[in-house]
């Protein structure tokens, strides 16, 4: 309920009392009905918030397990998995039970995910080189009735751009998904490798994807910073609500955008896959 309506409720008794008795009785009965409706709305909002909280907790847990598989920390358990024959040749299934094929990290998983998403239009070529070193994205969510807070942690391997092992961005939205705050840790760039300076020299403003890690005042009304706020809202929302929960589909390129466009790697062999490898990717699509 907005502030204007909330403040008006205080004036209802006096407003009703000004009417004739027969109308007053009807208005009082209507008010009682609407009070019940407001309680239903409140109960619904509370239930929705709790359900949303549980959803994000589950997503966080699943993303953590997914990252364990990507890094090779966890071995897939294929026992009892249905329809293996759709994805593997018989000799591959036999080998999987004999040889540990999962101990090595999954190459370029998150890079391929990002480049198959809508965010690819925001990623400059200079940023691509850094994102190729991205090893893991973790998500921690905190949901309440008044706001939603998400902490995105990007884990990078050793690279020539900065010394940070992680870049952390904490985003706060209000209940209507308006951006309230964006905080990030400081990036320790190596000499002559500051991405923002490189992009500025190339007339690419202050970055595309890496705007997510640039510090600024969300509340500022400066026209450039307002544009920053819009861009960060878009990048963060895509990551939190679309890309991370559905990273598997983005990696395979089996998503279709609203305009009918398909990700750029549809039908292509992943860059890290050697010719001759026995890999079958089957797109399951409901008509």
**What are the structural domains of the chain?**
3-54 (no CATH), 107-252 (3.30.1120.90)
The answer to whether 84 touches 78, Cβ cutoff 8 Å, is yes
SS3 state of residue 63: helix
Sheet containing strand 147-156, strands side by side: 134-143, 147-156, 166-174, 179-184
Higher model confidence: residue 84 or residue 56?
56
Give CA separation, 163 vs 47, 187, 229, in Å.
44, 8, 27
Closest CA relative to residue 212, chosen from 114, 102, 279: 114
Other Cβ atoms within 10 Å of 231 Cβ, number: 19
SS3 state of residue 150: strand
19-56 confidence digits (pLDDT tens): 888 887 888 787 777 777 777 777 777 788 888 888 88
Instruction: Answer whether residue 102 shows pLDDT above 50.
Output: yes
Model confidence band, residue 287 (pLDDT cutoffs 50, 70, 90): very low
Query: How far is it, in rounded angstroms, from Cα 124 to Cα 202?
Result: 11
> Model pTM?
0.70
Instruction: Answer whether residue 218 shows pLDDT above 50.
Output: yes
232-283 confidence digits (pLDDT tens): 888 999 999 899 988 988 998 887 766 556 555 543 444 444 333 333 333 3
SS3 state of residue 6: helix
Closest CA relative to residue 264, chosen from 274, 254, 273, 272: 254
User: What integer pLDDT is reported at residue 177 of this predicted model?
Assistant: 83
The answer to whether 110 touches 259, Cβ cutoff 8 Å, is no
> Look-up: residue for tokens 């900065």?
162
Go through the chain and tell me how many residues it has.
287
Query: How far is it, in rounded angstroms, from Cα 191 to Cα 212?
Result: 22
User: What integer pLDDT is reported at residue 216 of this predicted model?
Assistant: 65
140-195 confidence digits (pLDDT tens): 988 888 889 999 999 999 999 999 999 999 999 888 888 888 889 999 999 999 88
Higher model confidence: residue 180 or residue 99?
180
Other Cβ atoms within 10 Å of 249 Cβ, number: 18
Higher model confidence: residue 204 or residue 139?
139
Q: Which residues pair with 134 in a beta bridge?
A: 156
Give CA separation, 126 vs 7, 132, 139, 204, 212, in Å.
52, 11, 25, 10, 15
Highest mean pLDDT among 64-68, 76-80, 97-101, 259-263: 64-68
Instruction: Answer whether residue 18 shows pLDDT above 70.
Output: yes
44: exposed, middle or buried (Cβ count in 10 Å: 0-12, 13-18, 19+): exposed
Answer positive or negative: Cα dihedral of 41, 42, 46, 47: negative
User: What integer pLDDT is reported at residue 51 of this predicted model?
Assistant: 86
For residue 230, give both structure tokens.
Answer: 């819009």
* DSSP H helical ranges for 116-194: 125-131
Higher model confidence: residue 34 or residue 211?
211
């Amino acid at each position: 309920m907005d502030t204007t309506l909330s403040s008006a409720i205080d004036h209802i008794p006096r407003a009703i009392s000004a009417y004739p008795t027969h109308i007053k009785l009807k208005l009082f009965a209507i008010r009682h009905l609407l009070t019940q409706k407001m309680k239903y709305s409140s109960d619904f909002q509370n239930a929705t918030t709790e359900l949303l909280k549980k959803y994000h907790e589950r997503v966080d847990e699943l993303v953590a397990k997914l990252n364990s598989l990507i890094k090779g920390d966890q071995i897939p358990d294929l026992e009892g998995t249905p329809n293996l024959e759709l994805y593997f040749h018989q000799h591959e299934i036999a080998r999987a039970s004999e040889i540990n094929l999962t101990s090595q990290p999954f190459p370029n998983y998150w890079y391929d995910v990002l480049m198959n998403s809508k965010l690819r239009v925001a990623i400059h070529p200079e940023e691509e080189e850094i994102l190729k070193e991205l090893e893991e994205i973790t998500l921690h969510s905190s949901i309440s009735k008044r706001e939603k807070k998400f902490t995105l942690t990007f884990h990078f391997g050793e690279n020539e751009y900065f010394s940070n092992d992680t870049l952390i961005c904490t985003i706060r939205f209000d209940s209507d998904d308006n951006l309230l705050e964006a905080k990030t840790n400081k990036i320790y760039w190596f000499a002559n490798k500051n991405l923002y300076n490189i992009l500025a020299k190339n007339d690419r403003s202050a970055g595309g994807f890496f705007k997510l890690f640039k510090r600024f005042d969300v509340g500022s009304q400066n026209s450039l910073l307002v544009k920053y706020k819009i861009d960060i809202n878009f990048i963060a929302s895509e990551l939190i609500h679309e890309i991370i929960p559905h990273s598997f589909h983005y990696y395979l390129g089996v998503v279709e955008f609203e305009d009918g466009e398909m990700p750029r790697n549809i039908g292509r062999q992943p860059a890290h896959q050697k010719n001759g490898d026995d890999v079958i990717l089957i797109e399951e699509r409901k008509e």
